[in-house]
Amino acid sequence: MYEKTLTQLAAALKSGEFSSRELTAHYLQRIEKADTKLNSFISVTAEQALQQAEIADNARANGTAGTLAGIPLALKDIFCTRDVKTSCGSKMLDNFIAPYDATVVEKLSAAGTISLGKTNMDEFAMGSSNENSYYGPVKNPWDLTAVPGGSSGGSAAAVAAGLVPAAMGTDTGGSIRQPAAFCGITGLKPTYGRVSRFGIIAYASSLDQAGPMARSAEDCAHLLGVIAGHDGRDSTSVARGVPDYVESLDAPLSGLKIGLPKEYFGDGLAPEVEKAVRDAVKVYESLGATVRDVSLPHTHYAIPAYYVIAPAEASSNLSRYDGVRFGHRCDNPSDLIDLYTRSRAEGFGEEVKRRILIGTHTLSEGFFDAYYTKAQQVRRLIRQDFLDAFEDVDVLMGPASPTPAFDLGAKKDPVSMYLQDIYTIAVNLAGIPGISVPAGFVGNRPVGLQILGTHFAEAQLLNVAHQFQQATDWHLQRPAFAEEYA
């Protein structure tokens, strides 16, 4: 069963080939056997999953089941879930059980999907390798000595290893697309505001966005249709109709205008990654697309702007962890300040502290204009680069990451880790959608092709990705690790 895509599983459930209970038990068994090696889950909710599966099977028998009823999924441990721990990868929230479900979780439950559990992640979504988790690093199923990417590394590894057909992630600077690329799966970051952020633990509120991670663009289309839409509980969610993302998958690509940003093919890009991406572009040409070079001239300012804006927002968002209302509290505080400072020092990991300090510093008196205002001005220039490019082309294509997955422990210096996100970070600053699709390998490590569109162009991105997956089979490759537990 695990070798099927979500779309195929939905068809099999509908035809009665197997029940949701059988399917759910199958994946739970795979998690139990394989995840001691991968560490992709923080919590596995076997009992609840089997109960939900039974409800889905009954709905199926009554004829009231929707398309995705009975499909097992996993949630990055950043989505609040009533009655199940939501840790955000942090010691700070190791004891936190949210009193409510995130909107994404509510919508997935209403569609009848099953949650198998909560996946591992970089603490508070700050990281590009999943090595910043309080629960230990996740391994990449293609090569257990490599990182799975981050921050949605657990979701990506679990899908790639066939421990779950699809999972939810969040993306603030590349945290869906980069791990999707590193693990050889398909991951979509929607337009800012397309999916409600209600109940998603906040990192950088003007950049955070949730999206699906799955085996194919078609799978992502099914899931985006469920989770997208306006939500009165998130003031930044956009009141705009949700199109049928599945219906438009089959549109032909003849006449599609593809732009290749020259800044995405420069220094630092591994030659084998560049070759895989250029080969993918040739596939598009054979499907009738035309290709031209474009420029996004402010690309190299994206990482500096991000490392002002994101930590600034994080320092404000993370001020809520005070040891009083929820989360970790130090033992025997001598006074209120000791309670705050020690609870936070004990609860947060190194990278989170770095970003809180950077954000607090750049927002503080005497530095605000030089850093924060400046970064917001640059943010406008970066967005304008994309808007200008989309005057001339329909989509942009390039690598999702300059290299394939790197070795665990390889990047000790924070700045060298930050520079990994050169091709993904500007997308969040501009608020546009992006998708990473498997497009080859360097040795045994996957390469991701990133496709970008203008605001609310998710249907087009999914169509463009799906047509590639009709012409190639990179997305169907599975790591040997997945077969070991067949």
Partner 1 sequence: MALEDSHVRRAAHLARLAVSDDQASGFVDDLSRILDMVDQLQSLDTKGVAPLSHPLDATQRLRADEVTEANQRDAFQRCAPAVENGLYLVPRVVE
Pick from 376, 403, 444, 477 the residue near partner 1 by CB under 8 A: 376
Question: Is residue 206 a contact point for partner 1 (CB under 8 A)?
Answer: yes
For the CB of residue 355, give the shortest distance to partner 1 in the complex, in Å.
9
CB 456 within 8 A of CB 191: yes
Q: Which stretch binds partner 1 (CB under 8 A): 129-137, 142-150, 425-433, 476-484?
A: 425-433
Residue 175 annotated in active site: yes
Footprint of partner 1 on residues 173-192 (CB under 8 A)? 191-192
Catalytic residue among 128, 151, 155, 343: 151
Q: Which stretch binds partner 1 (CB under 8 A): 8-16, 116-124, 167-175, 295-303?
A: 295-303
Q: Which is nearer to partner 1, 177 or 328 (CB)?
A: 328
Residue 151 annotated in active site: yes
Q: Which stretch binds partner 1 (CB under 8 A): 113-121, 139-147, 272-280, 414-422?
A: 414-422
Footprint of partner 1 on residues 378-407 (CB under 8 A)? 378-381, 383
Footprint of partner 1 on residues 220-249 (CB under 8 A)? 232, 235-236, 238
Q: Which stretch binds partner 1 (CB under 8 A): 5-13, 147-155, 244-252, 368-376?
A: 368-376
For the CB of residue 154, give the shortest distance to partner 1 in the complex, in Å.
23
Question: Is residue 145 a contact point for partner 1 (CB under 8 A)?
Answer: no
Tokens of 390: 């989309």
The 38-77 site mask, x for binding partner 1 (CB under 8 A), equals: ----------------------------------------
For the CB of residue 46, give the shortest distance to partner 1 in the complex, in Å.
23
Q: What is the set of active-site residues?
A: 76, 151, 175
